[in-house]
Chains A and B, each alone.
Chain A
């Protein structure tokens, strides 16, 4: 049984046919034939996207998202692998929980689910979770994060960074100094003062990143910075990389596009952690992504039920969904502006996150012998975002009513189409 993708532009450049058999790319060339033919004329072929930062909510908040619906949303967004954050209920801080999440992903078959383990038991920031047990489990956890909470204790962070060296792990830090952000609601600046919402200063993020890169240098460990959002954070990471510190960084699609002026509406659909920052910060994270200071785009897909957003700002939950819009936002902010090529997009959304997360069979080139994780994307399409048009159980998209470029036409996970003609299979 062979499938041939006809006439796609590989990484947006050369037109070629791709032949897939038994989950592997067996030929790349012209005039290929196969049992099934997918016409990809005018479409861009990218390696299946990898999201290093997804909240699937299962176990515990199956009203907001499940592994099934979250991976379906991922497939619709062109993702073939998602890293599931640990802040579930119960927390993914034991081998049992991470194996359960990993197995659910395999059973459903819409995207490979690679669990992220909690750094500390219950995300409480007090005692290290059994990182080694999670690493040795069937899920082979390599990324550890207390995301949603910061590992703010400097000694605990140091120990975690050191400990995961034993199995080539990485600590993905949610950089948020807790005391500087008590009750914080939005980016601190003139607008927070005007709106009377408690400010979330940039320094609360930057101080932790600065500390952590120095710790990583001191103990010779690998650090990943989740969703950095400020100009200062970009500058600190740039400086750290120039010193040879082993740090990687991510930015979310929403921090590439949206700024804090949206908070004027007091509509909590725009409430997110870290908060939407100033327009200048948006420019800075785009520059950082373009020049390689920021290694990856990760969605921080954070589903929440309607009632947690249809309320006053202060009472609302932090977070936005983003799997199904990520590639469009990257196109709009980075490709259409000339800041990135599609080949670089494949690095930021596929090969780099796979490398950081140490998954060997994702983020591979579109070449013979490689796993057949492929996304076909139409960059000429446009669409107006309709919140109900989602595979996610939640509707908290900040892009409702916006016209976005591009459309995921097909996604192949190990040769099997999870999405065809834009529809889930």
Chain B
């Protein structure tokens, strides 16, 4: 594994190794001194072309706990808003000796472009690209599910909301399929991409029909602006048909968990009572995010032997 660009690139063994490594690293967070010397002397750049405080600080914490040097580079609002900035920025980072670049970009495929260009030869970690993928989010979601549900093989996972624009949904669908789970995507037809029938998932327009068998329900953020583009008639109608409220939550099996990648639109896709309920593992997802990102950086940059030979 040289880069982490798509959750679909991970084999079941690789994904399991990341999750197992994360489990070990999670224990570090419980120590008084939360730091390992593993990546001492290595430089990791957080290259964020799009605002995302929570993802950036999660990666930053992960890198620092492994003793790496971290450079935060926020390209948003800098003079270069056009594409060539990616090349020039990459060349700059390369010249500074970055061992890994964690990139968040509004353009789908930007991490792939960075990894496959000659502009940089460090490891590239996709921290969310456009409406494409967000593989570390899928890994932390899988980690969270695994810690509550055990082995994910055969588990029923329902993902609800704006699948069309969601990089979280894409990465989760691919990774959960790799791990053997049964994924159902629930959305109004306007928010499912053309060609979704070729994905390794089931789809449904009816949230209520998928509640009773779900081991986990993951609610996706739905931006209110989608309403203005006629993806759905109104926020209220969306909420009635696809929002997770207490009545729907009560129809879930006793062991089922409720997830959300954040940031939440309380009152839109998820009701406040649900978000704050015992079923909700949303805060835990954040904690696990640091451990999973530690595992990814560790395995890419120095931990595993197979990471060294490329």
Contact = CB atoms under 8 A, between A and B. Distances in A.
Interface stretch (B83-91, B261-269, B291-299): B83-91
Given A195-B132, A196-B132, A312 B105 contact: yes
Nearest to A196: B132
Given A311-B87, A314-B130, A188 B82 contact: no
Contact of B195 (A191, A313, A314): A191
Contact of B107 (A194, A265, A312): A312
Interface string B100-114: 000001111110110
B49 to A, nearest CB: 9
Contacts, number: 86
A128 interface: no
Contact of A192 (B116, B195, B199): B195
Interface string A167-206: 0000000000000000001001111111111110100000
Contacts of B95: none
Interface in B149-207: 164, 167, 170, 193-196, 198-199
A311 B198 contact: no
B194 A197 contact: no
A290 B181 CA distance: 49
Nearest to A197: B108
Contact of B84 (A185, A266, A311): A311
Interface string A92-109: 000000000000000000
Given A196-B129, A265-B116, A266-B113, A312 B86 contact: yes
A315 B107 contact: yes
Contacts of A343: none
B83 A196 contact: no
Contacts of B195: 189-194
A21 interface: no
Contacts of A307: 83-84
Nearest to A266: B109
A63 B108 CA distance: 28
Interface size range on B against A: 20 to 34
B131 interface: yes
B99 interface: no
A217 interface: no
A165 to B, nearest CB: 39
A312 B106 CA distance: 10
A315 B193 contact: no
A311 B86 CA distance: 7
Which of B87, B106, B113, B196 is most buried by chain A, counting CB atoms within 10 A of its CB? B113
B215 interface: no
A315 B82 contact: yes
Which of A191, A266, A313 is most buried by chain B, counting CB atoms within 10 A of its CB? A266
A312 B194 contact: no
Interface size range on A against B: 20 to 34
Which of A185, A192, A196, A199 is most buried by chain B, counting CB atoms within 10 A of its CB? A196
Contacts of B170: 194, 196
Contacts of B105: 312
B18 to A, nearest CB: 22
A185 B194 CA distance: 14
B193 A195 contact: no
Contacts of A190: 194-195, 198
Contact of A196 (B84, B86, B133): B133
Contacts of B167: 196
Contacts of B133: 196
A197 B107 CA distance: 8
A193 B109 contact: no
B194 A189 contact: yes
A310 interface: yes
A186 to B, nearest CB: 10
A194 B130 CA distance: 12
Contacts of A197: 108-109, 130-132
B176 to A, nearest CB: 16
A197 B65 CA distance: 35
B109 A315 contact: no
Given A266-B109, A311-B87, A312-B113, A196 B130 contact: yes
Contact of A314 (B87, B107, B112, B116): B107
A192 B193 contact: yes
Contacts of B86: 311-312, 315
A312 B109 contact: yes
Given A190-B198, A312-B83, A196 B131 contact: yes
Interface string B108-126: 1110110010000000000
Nearest to A308: B83
Contacts of B112: 265-266
Pairs of residues from A and B, 3 with the lowest C-beta to C-beta distance, nearest first: A311-B83, A190-B195, A315-B83
24 contacts: A189-B194, A189-B195, A190-B194, A190-B195, A191-B195, A192-B195, A193-B199, A194-B199, A195-B108, A196-B130, A196-B170, A197-B109, A197-B130, A197-B131, A197-B132, A266-B108, A267-B113, A308-B83, A311-B83, A312-B113, A313-B109, A314-B83, A314-B130, A316-B83
Given A195-B109, A315-B107, 16 more contacts: A188-B194, A189-B195, A190-B194, A190-B198, A193-B194, A193-B195, A193-B196, A195-B132, A196-B130, A196-B132, A266-B108, A310-B83, A311-B82, A312-B110, A313-B108, A315-B83
Interface of A: 185, 188-199, 201, 265-267, 307-308, 310-316
